[in-house]
Amino acid sequence: MTRTVLLLARRAAGARVWLLGALTLVGGLVPTASVLATGALVGAVPAAVTGGLGSPAGRPLLVALAVVAGLYVAAQALAPLTAALTWSVGSLYALAVRETVSTATLGPAGIAHLEDPELADEIAVVEGTEARPWVRQATIPALVTVTTTWLTGLGSAVVLARFRWWAPLLLGAAWAVTHRWVGREVETFTKSLPSATAELRRASYYRDLALRPAAAKELRVFGLGTWAVDRYAGEWLGGMSAIWRERRGHRLLMVQAVGAVALAHVVVLASIGQAAYDGALSVGGLAVYAQAVLGTMALGAQGDPQRTYREGAALAQRAVALATRIGPPAPGTGRHDLAGAPRRGIRFENVSFRYPGTERLVLDGLDLDVPAGRSLAVVGLNGAGKTTLVKLLTRLYEPTSGRITVDGVDLAEVDPEVWRERVGAVFQDFLRLELPARDNVGVGCARLAGDEAELAAAARDVGAEALVEALPRGWDTVLSRGYEGGADLSGGQWQRIALARALLAVRGGASVLVLDEPTANLDVRAEQELFDRVLASASGTTTLLVSHRLSSVRRVDRIVVVEDGRVAEEGSHDELMHLGGRYAALFALQAERFGTEVGADA
DSSP codes, 2-18: HHHHHHHHHHHHTHHHH
For residue 247, the model assigns a pLDDT of: 59
Domain CATH for 178: 1.20.1560.10
Region of poorest pLDDT, from 172-186, 203-217, 264-278: 172-186
Is 336 part of a structural domain of the chain?
no
pLDDT digits (tens, 9 = 90+) for 541-583: 999 999 887 877 888 899 999 998 899 999 999 999 999 999 9
**Cα–Cα distance for residue pair 180/189, rounded to 1 Å:** 14
Bridge partners of 406, per DSSP, are: 346, 409
Domain that holds residue 357: 345-422+511-602
Which whole number is the average pLDDT over 6-19?
A: 89
Q: Is 83 helix (H, G, I), strand (E, B) or coil?
A: helix
Pick from 412, 391, 359: nearest CA to 112: 391
For residue 131, the model assigns a pLDDT of: 46
Say if residue 187 is in the same domain as residue 49: yes
pLDDT digits (tens, 9 = 90+) for 331-350: 555 666 677 789 999 999 99
Say if residue 302 is in the same domain as residue 385: no
Instruction: Strand 542-546: give its sheet, edge to edge.
Output: 423-426, 512-516, 542-546, 375-379, 558-563, 566-571
Q: Over the chain, what is the mean pLDDT?
A: 82
Please measure the distance between the N-terminal and C-terminal CA atoms of the chain and give it in whole angstroms.
Answer: 69
**Residue pair 391/378 in contact by the 8 Å Cβ criterion:** no
Q: Is residue 431 very low, low, confident or very high in pLDDT (cuts 50, 70, 90)?
A: confident
Instruction: Kindly give the pairing relationship between strand 558-563 and strand 375-379.
Output: parallel
Say if residue 393 is in the same domain as residue 439: no
For residue 277, the model assigns a pLDDT of: 78
Region of poorest pLDDT, from 66-70, 183-187, 456-460, 486-490: 183-187
**Which of 480, 510, 540 marks a domain boundary?**
510
Which whole number is the average pLDDT over 33-38?
A: 79
CB atoms within 10 A of CB 455: 27
Is 7 part of a structural domain of the chain?
yes
Is 272 part of a structural domain of the chain?
yes
Say if residue 395 is in the same domain as residue 248: no
CB atoms within 10 A of CB 19: 15
For residue 456, the model assigns a pLDDT of: 94
**Cα–Cα distance for residue pair 423/434, rounded to 1 Å:** 24
pLDDT of 227 higher than 70: yes
Q: Tell if the pTM clears 0.95, that is, is over it.
A: no
Say if residue 377 is in the same domain as residue 500: no
- With a CB cutoff of 8 Å and minimum separation 6, the contacts of 555 are 531, 532, 535, 573
Structural domain count of the chain: 3
Crossing angle of helices 59-106/2-13, nearest 10°?
A: 90
For residue 348, the model assigns a pLDDT of: 95
**Cα–Cα distance for residue pair 176/299, rounded to 1 Å:** 8
3-state helix, strand, coil in the chain (%, to 5): 65, 10, 25
Say if residue 468 is in the same domain as residue 588: no
**Cα–Cα distance for residue pair 105/329, rounded to 1 Å:** 9
Q: Is 222 helix (H, G, I), strand (E, B) or coil?
A: coil
**Cα–Cα distance for residue pair 434/390, rounded to 1 Å:** 26
Say if residue 375 is in the same domain as residue 269: no
For residue 470, the model assigns a pLDDT of: 93
Say if residue 408 is in the same domain as residue 350: yes
Is 389 part of a structural domain of the chain?
yes
Which whole number is the average pLDDT over 247-256?
A: 60
Is 264 part of a structural domain of the chain?
yes
Which amino acid, one-letter code, is at 427?
F
Is 332 part of a structural domain of the chain?
no
**How would you classify residue 463: left for phi > 0, otherwise alpha for psi between -120 and 50, otherwise beta?**
left
For residue 560, the model assigns a pLDDT of: 94
Which comes out higher in pLDDT, residue 75 or 373?
Answer: 373
Instruction: Strand 345-353: give its sheet, edge to edge.
Output: 363-371, 345-353, 401-406, 409-410
Q: Is 110 helix (H, G, I), strand (E, B) or coil?
A: coil
pLDDT of 599 higher than 60: no
Is 155 part of a structural domain of the chain?
yes
**Which of 291, 326, 361 marks a domain boundary?**
326
pLDDT of 602 higher than 50: no
Say if residue 241 is in the same domain as residue 110: yes
Please list, residue by residue across 188-227, b when 16 or more beta carbons sit within 10 angstroms of its beta carbon and e when fewer do: bbbebbeebbbbbbbbbebbebbeeeeeeeebeeeebeee
**Which of 298, 326, 354 marks a domain boundary?**
326
Q: Is residue 393 very low, low, confident or very high in pLDDT (cuts 50, 70, 90)?
A: very high
For residue 208, the model assigns a pLDDT of: 78
Say if residue 122 is in the same domain as residue 268: yes
Say if residue 457 is in the same domain as residue 570: no
Please list, residue by residue across 531-562, b when 16 or more beta carbons sit within 10 angstroms of its beta carbon and e when fewer do: bebbbebbeebbbbbbbebbbbbbebebbbbb
pLDDT digits (tens, 9 = 90+) for 180-200: 666 666 555 555 555 566 677
Domain CATH for 461: 3.40.50.300
Q: What percent of the chain has pLDDT over 70?
A: 86
3-state secondary structure 144-213: HHHHHHHHHHHHHHHHHHCCCCHHHHHHHHHHHHHHHHHHHHHHHHHHHHHHHHHHHHHHHHHHHHHHCH
DSSP codes, 133-145: TTHHHHHHHHHHH
Say if residue 211 is in the same domain as residue 313: yes
Is 427 part of a structural domain of the chain?
no
pLDDT of 501 higher than 50: yes
